[in-house]
Chains A and B, each alone.
Chain A
Amino acid sequence: MSGLPRREFLKAGGALIIGFGLRDVLLAQTRGSVAGPPDATQIDTWLAIHADNTATVYVGFAELGQGGSTALLQIAADELDLGMDQVSSVRLDTNVTPNQGGTYSSASIARGGPQVRTAAAEARLALLNMASKRLNAAVDGLTVSKGVVSTRDGSTRVSYGDLVGDRMFNLPFTGSAPVKKPAEYKIVATPVARRDLPDKVRGTHVYMQHVRVPDMLHGRIVRPRGQRAYGVGARVLSVNEASLRGIPGARLLRRGDFLGVVAGNEWDAIRAARQLAVTWEGTSALPGSEKVHERMRSTKTPEEVVVQRGDVGAALASAAHVVSQTSHAPYQAHAPFGPNCAVADVKADSALVMCSTQDVYATRRTLAALLKLPVEKVRVQYYEGSGTYGHSAYDDVAQAAAFLSQEAGKPVRVQFMRWDEHGWDNYGPAHVGEVRVAADGSGKLTAYEYHGWQHSWSGTEASAQLAGERPVEFLAGPVQGVQGVNRLTCGGQYQIPNLRLVNHKLPVVEYLKAGWLRSPLDLSFAFTSEQAIDQLAHLLDIDPYEFRRRNIADGRWLGVLDAAANAARWTPRRAAAKRNGGKIVAGRGIGLGTHLQSWGGAVADIEVNTETGKVVATHLYGAIDAGLVVNPAIVESQICGQLVQTASRMFHEEVTFDTSGVTSLDWSTYPILRFDECPEVTPIVVQQLNERCLGAGEEVMAAAAGAIANAFFDATGVRMEEFPLTPKRVLSALKRA
């Protein structure tokens, strides 16, 4: 199988057990029989060394299709002195893998990398101590290559497998073993091929959507097409189970207003969901997508100051040059390409739920409460779905499957239909931004004030809410700070003596259900803020790249800015100076921004058709400095994906809704970028071998959004105040100008 170690296919305790030996079964059973999380203070929790001189690394991070699992194995292999062909990991499972927190906020490498590295270093040290005794040689006289420990003269040797093969270390994980220095890395910082791709091109990769278990029913949810306002929900006025007559084995299952159907056959379940006669109570609590920004801006909110330094009011009042920029940004959908899916087997006293959550332990906690089971009686296993880009409906579908299984008394597989996924997402929230920025006569930034209006994330999934759970706000916990104005993307790139960032936090109810969408809100922030910076450059007749350089003190911001500009062969320009008034006008823009860490810089080349209003990106350049990049090829691939996805979000993506509910329910009503408009992309990895590893899966999107907005001005001389830049919006802006 793909030339990978057999153990890669070990599906500990899961539904699909594919060709592995008795020893692996025993190991998996030992580990899987007890509710986790396994004790993080024990080395054995983190890795196991097998008799065949290979290692299993127990990683608490989900592979989200971004290559993080390969990179974490690179770190482990390097630290253990093993080859990549000697290491593998196992499925995330609350009975098996350690709790490293959720796989979000770019945490896999930034937070998980050091944990895996330290555990591997400690295991290596323990192995060296054992080898020292076995070979009767001092530890510092030993060398390791590919898991074989030798005395320096090479006269005697012993393998890791011989030393501990499939026995436990029984050692505490103290975190005290010295780790390798970057100069000693052999596998880290090299472009190792992704481990998951051979099976993905072959069709042998097991996605969540492929999982089937014996005696399973197929389920589908029944809801109004398009979610209603969060907190208002959807109330069933009447439902007629008799309408399912004629569909073999189809049953209606209900918990409050949560409705689902099950059948033995998948197509029958789909037909039943379609055919079930339900009358839903009408609602009109939403403002509609046309008027949402108006409602947001006019709602009285407490002002929450994120950052304040200097005296912004005085500095703005006395500044030589002040510009302002406002923006309206839409709700956008995660829209996973394959709708979310889960299989649940809920018994009277326990439950097994297989799903695509970003956090198996958090999902277990919520499911246990909803199913009224003790948390240790619920086991959650992660199966990769299609890319999720944040908190799509994976928890919702897991809850739906769990409810239906509990009601049916059998395992149930639920897959969302396209309209369920598009219509009941936890959307990236809408945003209203207002920024004022000032500079002195020499082009130095002096003051910056950003006001952002947005609501935070919903904490109750639709299944739970329909079943009667109270709609609450998501308590951010470790990811706090990503729901409001981002201090890095909003002015944090520049040296500005007087700065004030203010959140206007809106109530979470009576808007759409919301969650973190890749680089949460950062595209909106950069669209606003980076256009204001560009306005000042234009006002002062300074090249926008040069203007930024003058105002950056941090070498790493400068590094990504220069990297993007150099890749694009940037030449000094005054924005909008070369407008030719033709039908197709071209423009180039530059931008800086990030999420919660790392540094992103971008240049965008775009074309605007002034007759049709259609905008396309022709070439996007994106640079990321994420510290030490474990796998530069994977990060390049991530940059390419981020650039294309940003173009899609800037030009096409917009959730539409009326006062009742969401109306963008598929790829025709919620279009995304296609092949015909795909830009050329140039990824640039700014490698920093001696810096801490940081995230690289979402950190160039803000910069690219800013660059695109500025390129639009360069092409047309018009500042856009709203995205996506759809033909209708563009034509209307060009007409106004």
Chain B
Amino acid sequence: MSINVNGKPWTVAAAPDTPLLYVLSNELRLQGPRFGCGLAQCGSCSVLVDGVERRSCVTPVSAVEGKSVTTLEGLPMWYAVMKRLERVPELHPVQQAMLDEQAAQCGYCYNGMIVKAAELLSKNPRPDDAQIRRAMNGHLCRCGTYPRIISAVRRASEMMAVTR
């Protein structure tokens, strides 16, 4: 089977019903999507499939054949394509904003947080706090860093507004 991840085609050996997460972690050795619950409850394993956030722990790899998968690692490139930037930035604005806010503690949930926030801002570039909370509500943070994540999404939104 062949899947497209972060702009590149990959031939994978996994059985078609294998959840995408295990293919990304073990065959592609990507570190962004990571196991959290295996039940689509927490958002730890989130990826973008054709720009839409999906839980890779419950998505069979066969379901993304012919689609475009973007992981945390591919977000800067995804952003550059979307914004038609001449150069791929080092970080997606959401990643930069998370750093600027010093938001993370253990950081394990930040894969999902960043992927989800990037999806949100691609659809709604200027979300208000209520919209941010609603969009992010399916993602859990056990360290309790929600307040700084909200600030970071706001900050990223402002950064994107000034990026050509």
Known pairs A267-B19, A418-B39, A676-B137; A337 contacts B109 (CB<8 A): yes
Q: Report if B107 contacts A (CB, 8 A).
A: yes
Asked whether, in the complex, the Cβ of A266 is within 8 Å of the Cβ of B142, the reply is no
Asked whether, in the complex, the Cβ of B137 is within 8 Å of the Cβ of A385, the reply is no
Complex contacts, A386 vs chain B, CB 8 Å: 106, 108-109, 142
Q: How far is the CB of B60 from chain A (nearest CB, A)?
A: 10
Interface string of A653-691 (1 = CB under 8 A from B): 000000000000011100011111011110000000000
Q: Which of A67, A198, A384, A674: most chain B CB closer than 10 A? A: A674
Asked whether, in the complex, the Cβ of A201 is within 8 Å of the Cβ of B91, the reply is yes
Asked whether, in the complex, the Cβ of A675 is within 8 Å of the Cβ of B133, the reply is yes
Complex contacts, B157 vs chain A, CB 8 Å: none
Kindly state the interface size class of chain A when it binds its partner: 35 or more
Complex contacts, B141 vs chain A, CB 8 Å: 337
Asked whether, in the complex, the Cβ of A675 is within 8 Å of the Cβ of B110, the reply is no
For B42, the closest partner residue in chain A by CB is A667
Query: Among the listed A200, A267, A338, A680, which residue makes an inter-chain contact with B104, where contact means beta carbons less than 8 Å apart?
Result: A200
* Interface Cβ pair total, 8 Å cutoff: 169
Interface string of B61-102 (1 = CB under 8 A from A): 000000000011100000000000000000100010011001
Asked whether, in the complex, the Cβ of A201 is within 8 Å of the Cβ of B104, the reply is yes
Asked whether, in the complex, the Cβ of A202 is within 8 Å of the Cβ of B95, the reply is yes
Query: Among the listed B41, B42, B72, B139, which residue makes an inter-chain contact with A675, where contact means beta carbons less than 8 Å apart?
Result: B139
Asked whether, in the complex, the Cβ of A666 is within 8 Å of the Cβ of B37, the reply is yes
Asked whether, in the complex, the Cβ of B142 is within 8 Å of the Cβ of A675, the reply is no
Asked whether, in the complex, the Cβ of A339 is within 8 Å of the Cβ of B35, the reply is yes
Q: How far is the CB of B53 from chain A (nearest CB, A)?
A: 14
Complex contacts, B110 vs chain A, CB 8 Å: 200-201
Q: Report if A137 contacts B (CB, 8 A).
A: no
Query: Among the listed A212, A266, A638, A674, which residue makes an inter-chain contact with B140, where contact means beta carbons less than 8 Å apart?
Result: A674
Q: Report if B2 contacts A (CB, 8 A).
A: no
Complex contacts, A648 vs chain B, CB 8 Å: 144
Asked whether, in the complex, the Cβ of B147 is within 8 Å of the Cβ of A64, the reply is no
Asked whether, in the complex, the Cβ of B44 is within 8 Å of the Cβ of A337, the reply is yes
Interface string of A381-406 (1 = CB under 8 A from B): 00011110100000000000000000
Q: Which of A200, A205, A389: most chain B CB closer than 10 A? A: A200
For B61, the closest partner residue in chain A by CB is A267
Q: Report if A284 contacts B (CB, 8 A).
A: no
Q: Report if B163 contacts A (CB, 8 A).
A: no
Q: Report if B111 contacts A (CB, 8 A).
A: yes
Known pairs A204-B31, A338-B35, A673-B144; A197 contacts B104 (CB<8 A): yes
A418 to B34 alpha-carbon distance, docked (Å): 13
Interface string of A188-230 (1 = CB under 8 A from B): 0000011011101111111101101000000000000000000
Query: Among the listed B25, B133, B145, which residue makes an inter-chain contact with A676, where contact means beta carbons less than 8 Å apart?
Result: B133
A337 to B106 alpha-carbon distance, docked (Å): 10
A387 to B104 alpha-carbon distance, docked (Å): 11
Q: Report if A362 contacts B (CB, 8 A).
A: no
A194 to B100 alpha-carbon distance, docked (Å): 11
Asked whether, in the complex, the Cβ of A197 is within 8 Å of the Cβ of B107, the reply is yes
Complex contacts, B26 vs chain A, CB 8 Å: 212, 265-266
Interface string of A286-309 (1 = CB under 8 A from B): 000000000000000000000000
A415 to B38 alpha-carbon distance, docked (Å): 12
Asked whether, in the complex, the Cβ of A67 is within 8 Å of the Cβ of B137, the reply is no
Complex contacts, A563 vs chain B, CB 8 Å: none
Asked whether, in the complex, the Cβ of A203 is within 8 Å of the Cβ of B31, the reply is yes
A71 to B116 alpha-carbon distance, docked (Å): 31
Q: Report if B3 contacts A (CB, 8 A).
A: no
Q: Which of B105, B109, B137, B147: most chain A CB closer than 10 A? A: B105
Q: How far is the CB of B24 from chain A (nearest CB, A)?
A: 11
Complex contacts, A679 vs chain B, CB 8 Å: 147
For A191, the closest partner residue in chain B by CB is B102
Known pairs A203-B72, A418-B38, A674-B140; A67 contacts B105 (CB<8 A): yes
Complex contacts, A267 vs chain B, CB 8 Å: 14-15, 18-19, 22
Asked whether, in the complex, the Cβ of A65 is within 8 Å of the Cβ of B137, the reply is no
Asked whether, in the complex, the Cβ of B108 is within 8 Å of the Cβ of A644, the reply is no
For B74, the closest partner residue in chain A by CB is A203
Asked whether, in the complex, the Cβ of B146 is within 8 Å of the Cβ of A675, the reply is yes
Q: Report if A243 contacts B (CB, 8 A).
A: no
Q: Report if B155 contacts A (CB, 8 A).
A: no
Known pairs A668-B41, A675-B136; A645 contacts B143 (CB<8 A): yes
Q: Report if A593 contacts B (CB, 8 A).
A: no
Asked whether, in the complex, the Cβ of B35 is within 8 Å of the Cβ of A196, the reply is no
A-B contact pairs, 15 of them (CB 8 A): A193-B102, A201-B104, A202-B95, A207-B108, A209-B34, A210-B34, A338-B108, A339-B35, A386-B109, A418-B36, A418-B37, A644-B146, A673-B146, A674-B146, A678-B147
Listed from nearest, the 8 A-B pairs whose CB atoms lie closest are A65-B106, A644-B144, A200-B107, A386-B108, A387-B106, A203-B32, A678-B146, A641-B144
16 further A-B pairs in the complex, CB-CB below 8 A; given A207-B108, A681-B147: A65-B105, A66-B106, A197-B102, A197-B107, A200-B104, A204-B31, A210-B25, A266-B26, A336-B108, A386-B109, A637-B102, A641-B145, A644-B146, A666-B41, A675-B134, A679-B147
Chain A residues proximal to chain B, CB less than 8 Å: 64-67, 193-194, 196-198, 200-207, 209-210, 212, 265-267, 270, 335-339, 384-387, 389, 415, 417-418, 633, 637-638, 640-645, 648, 666-668, 672-676, 678-681
